[in-house]
Amino acid sequence: MQKQAIFQSKLLPYALVAPQLAIVLIFFYWPALQAVIQSFLLQDAFGLSSTFVWFENYIELFKDAAYFEAIVRTFFFSFAIAVSSLSFALLLAVMADKPLRGSMLYRTLLIWPYAVAPPVVGVLWIFMLHPSLGVLSRYLRNMGIDWNPLLNGDQAAALIILAAAWKQISYNFLFFLAGLQAIPKSVFEAAAIDGARPMRRFWTVTFPLLSPTIFFLLVVNIVYAFFDTFGIIDTMTRGGPGTSTVTLVYKVYSDGLLGGNLGSSAAQSVILMVMVIVLTGIQFRFVERKVTY
């Protein structure tokens, strides 16, 4: 698709794209290229010289049990966050899609957590479920649960999944609601005339018609769980106890922060890049394209 009516000018278009091109080249392509180059190099202990080592950094990474655990953990977190947040949001959206009085108010009251920053989400949830002073921890302890997410890795992981899913409810809710409202009401009427009960109507009519939205949200939620959980993890557990809440992004951050192995840190970045590109590719391939060429 191209415009027919255009302007003629030799220099002006270059001047117009120059600012964005400059920023993208300096702050995007240059660092990305650096990461790729760095991932093939091995630096000596003093950082004075480096040698080209082909894929050694990558091979070392995949031999490293801690890295493998981080991959599994990240995928598990993504899956748990996506499923819990999506199902809760879908339930709310189906309810809000009904012709109810005050449905606009419901929408307003459900969408605002989108605006809460991940580190703040972390602070809110660790405060509620803090082992010694959290208001909810009292009840957990009264129920006989030995609740201490600062010492128990599984509980820490559960807490992070809970907090991350909480934040994402509003986003999922909005897109589900839009998806539901796009389904023509006549479809439901036809199913109702055929005698399908509401539950059956949901599973045989609504759910299949909503599947593009579900798929789109699944990809978005996985990307969210990969990257935006960093702030939540960093304020709640800082990857601990031990390494039980270290995700791939957190590992890039903490390995690099210790200043140790630059090559390994770069290789981790490159692997993450490939993962995001694959996810984005899936999204563009299967989800209805927003961009037309």
Partner 1 sequence: MVEEEGFRRYVAHAILWIGIAIVAFPVYIAIVASTQDNALIANGQMSLLPGGHFFEVYYQTIFVGTSGSTREPVGNMMLNSLVMALAIAIGKIAISIISAYAIVYFRFPFRMPIFWIIFITLMLPVEVRIYPTYKIVADLHMLDSYAGLALPLIASATATLLFRQFFMTVPDELLEASRIDGAGPLRFFWDTLLPLSRTNMAALFVILFILGWNQYLWPLLITTRDDMQTIQVGIRKMITTTDALTEWPIVMATAVLAMLPPVFVVVAMQKLFVRGLVETEK
Cβ closest to partner 1, residue 21 vs residue 145: 21
CA-based angle 85:75:217, to the nearest 5? 40
209 binds partner 1 (CB under 8 A): no
Cβ closest to partner 1, residue 63 vs residue 197: 197
Indicate which single residue of 61, 110, 160, 164 sits in contact with partner 1 (rule: CB under 8 A).
Answer: 110
Count of residues engaged in binding partner 1, rule: CB under 8 A? 101
What is the spatial distance between Cα 215 and Cα 63, in angstroms, rounded to a whole number?
A: 33
Other residues' Cβ atoms within 10 Å of the Cβ of residue 86: 22
221 binds partner 1 (CB under 8 A): no
Binders in 7-66 for partner 1, by CB under 8 A? 7, 9-10, 12-14, 16-17, 19-21, 23-32, 34-35, 38
Other residues' Cβ atoms within 10 Å of the Cβ of residue 266: 21
Structure tokens at 79: 């899956």
289 binds partner 1 (CB under 8 A): no
288 bridge partner residues = none
The CA R_g of the chain, rounded to the nearest whole Å, is: 24
- Counting Cβ atoms within 10 Å, is residue 219 exposed (0-12), middle (13-18) or buried (19+)? middle
222 binds partner 1 (CB under 8 A): no
Instruction: Kindly state the DSSP code that residue 6 receives in the 8-state scheme.
Output: -
Binders in 133-192 for partner 1, by CB under 8 A? 133-135, 137-138, 166, 169-171, 174-175, 178, 185, 188-189, 192
Instruction: Kindly state the DSSP code that residue 115 receives in the 8-state scheme.
Output: G
Closest residue by Cα to residue 39 from 271, 264, 273 = 264
276 binds partner 1 (CB under 8 A): yes
203 binds partner 1 (CB under 8 A): no
Shortest Cβ distance from residue 291 to partner 1 (Å)? 6
Shortest Cβ distance from residue 95 to partner 1 (Å)? 4
The region of 47-55, 57-65, 151-159, 245-253 touching partner 1 under the rule CB under 8 A is 245-253
Q: Give how far the C-alpha of residue 271 lies from the chain's centroid of Cα atoms, to the nearest Å.
A: 16
265 binds partner 1 (CB under 8 A): yes
Closest residue by Cα to residue 149 from 130, 164, 168 = 130
Cβ closest to partner 1, residue 69 vs residue 107: 107
Binding mask 64-93 for partner 1 (x = CB under 8 A): ------------------------x--xx-
